Structure 1
């Protein structure tokens, strides 16, 4: 009953022993020349493709021989320029730019909705607010504040301004914005407004500092150049002045639609610097893209509110302005690279190692698909086992015994 168990134990022991002993075997490549033109063409073709990939893509395109730095230090300063006539008023940057001078975010007002002469007091809630409509005071709970409303309810049901129906009375800035708002026409002249974007970057590892403004010998020449230039990718790549119309066009947006709803545009500045060349070749490239979600009507567009306060008849008053605008978010990316022996050696070794895949592919084809694959397999793999030495006395006794029984062959056996 115990024999199968003993056999299994002995078999497992032999397997473990053979595995342990084979672990210490040494394998060395064997050179075998195969006279097969098809296999040779495949081998050289794969060699060519792998070598071309590493030379062109890894070394030339990806510059694997360079040490790189992606964490640049950046500074951004923005300034809006231009003026426009809006009705009887002349608007300058203080009126339509928020902030007039800023960092990496600046916006231009393209359209306004204004509520004039608001004062603190009580008035009827806007009829479109949930549960604002009423018939008696019992419909209005005193002290309630509706999330979408304009103020705190007083508990009274009052006439809605000069209309016949009633809404709950609230304590707030009166009259409420939704009732008294005045919608002004869009500021179409803003299409020619310009935004000045000054950007400087620093790569600490390579101690390289660059800016996006054209170098000049004197400040006067710089100022003169900046007053007349507008950015052009080919003619003026170092001019930091961008027309709002140009930005909207590059972002594939309709400027008239932006005037109606507002929008957020990303200004992407990308620095890709090859420091093996002269630092003057390290210049920025610009791209523009709409950032707010146009498909989501609840969150698309861009607007904000602000108020202008003043005293009228010794009562604090304000003009509330809801401004629809074009907001610019300046986002800076960059990387720099410079020759270094360490990544060059690593990439070269990787390339040489990867070329070995050619041999693996061709060996697989040779041993699997080509005729005489069994012959190739027998020739390719040899196993050499160290044979035990036979004692000389044993050899002599064997020869003498063999010679006495085979007298016709004994003379030909060397001793």
Structure 2
């Protein structure tokens, strides 16, 4: 037993000794010329790809030589404008825009459904609600919670208005919406309504403030905004958009939006190269539908609100279900400016990555080309201090004053 422990201890000691001695070894590469055209083509091709990647993608596309800021400070102000004749009424932005002056979210009503003269009382539940149909009072448990219900059950089974079937009675605002709703035609004139979106963005790291509103030289901004509409080329600093233009850019049919409503994202993107004058920092706009698509049952955008009044001493209300377009203003911004530190880091990374070419070609040589192990015999050697000082063809070696650190495998080596 003691002999086995002694052997193990000696093995551990030898391992530690070898590791300690090897830790102080010095490794130096030696250049070896391998005249093999297929391998040379691969080597230059990989070099070309690596260099092209860093020049085109890293430096030109990603601008890795710049210090960047990706979390700017942003402020958004919006307002809706337009007038429309709807039946006998003239509607302005107070009627259809909510809120009339908003921040990063604003909506406009395109279609309304009214339920007039609702009062607190009892009435039959709508037959489309789960378990609302009944034949006796025993089918209607009082106070039974139901998230789809319009009210609280009284426990009675009553006739559904002038129909022959019965439903459970509820305490609610009566009559209920599904029974007494009056639907208005859509506000098709809203296609020409406009929304004004003012966006200010600040890059604190570079102390640069930009605004998406700017009038042409010689014209006051207030006067300019009264007559302009946004155009990518002709009026990039006029952030006034027609609703029809927004729907078209989002690839949506405005008539269908009037029917179901929808949520559209207005994306403002600031991509600023501050190596140039800040006046070149211009916003770009994109539009995309954000809610579920129109072919789904719960798609669209709508909300309910009520107008309360007193009628013959009884509190009454008109319930309004409004369908419309909601605009969510989403701002993205990034800015970059030349800096020495990222330039040095990116350059060193590029130069280091070129070494991948040698690693790949060495692997190809050792794996697929070096059938007789001629290359591997000359590549890997271990030379000690006491050995002769003749010319030594090694990759890892101790080179004396008479040694050579260059090998040419062009002659006499079958590859």
- Specify the TM-score bucket, using the shorter chain as the normaliser: 0.7 to 0.9
The question of whether the paired residues in 2 share the 8 Å contact of 1:110 and 1:190 is answered with yes
**TM-aligned CA deviation for residue 12 of structure 1:** 5.7
1:366–1:373 Cα contact (<8 Å) kept: no
| Structure 2: distance between partners of 1:359 and 1:155 | 85
**Alignment correspondent of 1:133:** 133
Q: Distance in 2 between matches of 1:40 and 1:134?
A: 87
Stretch moving more, 128-137 or 243-252: 128-137
Superposed counterparts of 1:35-114, under 5 Å: 35-114=35-114
Q: Distance in 2 between matches of 1:205 and 1:91?
A: 46
CA distance in 2: counterparts of 1:134 and 1:314, whole angstroms: 34
Distance 1:366 1:147, change over 3 A: closer
**CA displacement at 1:200 relative to structure 2:** 0.7
C-alpha displacement at 1:295, in angstroms?
Answer: 7.2
State how far apart, in whole Å, the 1-side matches of 2:99 and 2:293 are: 25
CA deviation map 1:246-304 (0-9, x unaligned): 11111111112111111111111111110001101111111111111227834311110
Tell me the secondary structure at the aligned position of residue 376 of structure 1. helix
* Distance of 1:31 and 1:257 partners within structure 2: 72
- TM-score of the two chains, using structure 1 as the length reference: 0.86
Structure 1 residue 165 corresponds to structure 2 residue 165: yes
Quote the residue 1:249 is aligned against: 248
Report the 3-state secondary structure (helix = DSSP H, G, I; strand = E; otherwise coil) of the residue aligned with 1:121: strand
Partners of 1:380 and 1:140 in 2: CA distance: 91
Aligned equivalent of 1:324: 323
Unaligned runs of 5+ in 2: 389-415
Retained in 2: the 8 A contact 1:78–1:101?
yes
* CA shift digits 1:293-326 (9 cap, x unpaired): 2278343111100111222223222111101111
Partner of 1:337: 336
CA drift of 1:190 comes to 1.3
Structure 2 CA distance for aligned equivalents of residues 373 and 273 of structure 1:
58
* TM-superposition CA deviations, 1:85-124 (whole Å, max 9, x none): 1111111111111111111111111111111111222222
CA contact (8 A) 2:119 2:316 kept: yes
Partner Cα separation in structure 1 for residue 376 and residue 160 of structure 2: 98
How far the C-alpha of 1:61 sits from its partner, in A, is 0.5
Question: Greater CA deviation, 167-176 or 186-195?
Answer: 167-176
CA distance in 2, matches of 1:216, 1:154: 68
Q: Tell me the distance in 2 between the aligned counterparts of 1:202 and 1:232.
A: 24
Q: CA RMSD in A?
A: 2.5
Within a 5 Å distance, the mapping from 1:277-292 to structure 2 comes to 277-292=276-291
Q: After alignment, is 351-360 or 17-26 more displaced?
A: 17-26
Name the counterpart of 1:409. none
Aligned to 1:408: none
In structure 2, distance between residues paired with 1:156 and 1:369: 88
C-alpha deviations, 1:372-391, integer Å up to 9, x for none? 863333333443212299xx
Residue 39 of structure 1 and its aligned partner are, at CA, apart by 3.2
User: Partner of 1:269 in structure 2?
Assistant: 268
Deviation at 1:212, TM superposition (A): 1.0
SS in 2 for 1:32: strand
Q: CA deviation at 1:4?
A: 8.3
Structure 1 residue 3, shift from structure 2 partner:
8.1
**Which piece of structure 1 moves more, 121-130 or 1-10?**
1-10
Q: Distance in 2 between matches of 1:130 and 1:46?
A: 68
Q: 1: CA distance between counterparts of 2:170 and 2:260?
A: 29
Task: Note the C-alpha offset of 1:176.
Answer: 1.0
* Map of 2:120 onto structure 1: 120
State the SS of the aligned residue for 2:343: helix
SS in 2 for 1:25: coil
Contact 2:294 2:300 in 1 (8 A): no
Residue 153 (structure 1) shift: 2.6
How far is 1:31 from its partner?
A: 2.1
Alignment of 1:383-402 (within 5 A): 383-387=382-386
CA contact (8 A) 2:47 2:354 kept: yes
Asked if 1:174 is matched to 2:171, the reply is no
What CA distance in whole angstroms lies between the structure 2 residues aligned with 1:58 and 1:307?
Answer: 57
Residue in 2 that maps onto 1:398:
none
How big is each residue's C-alpha offset from its partner over 1:143-165, in whole Å with a ceiling of 9 and x where there is no partner? 44432111223333333223333
Q: Does the CA contact (< 8 Å) of 2:262 and 2:291 recur in 1?
A: yes
CA-to-partner distance for each residue in 1:19-58, whole Å, 9 max, x for gaps?
A: 3322221101112233334433332332222112111111
Mapped contact 1:159–1:166 kept (Cα < 8 A): yes
Measured in 1, the distance between the counterparts of 2:144 and 2:387 equals 103
The higher radius of gyration belongs to 1
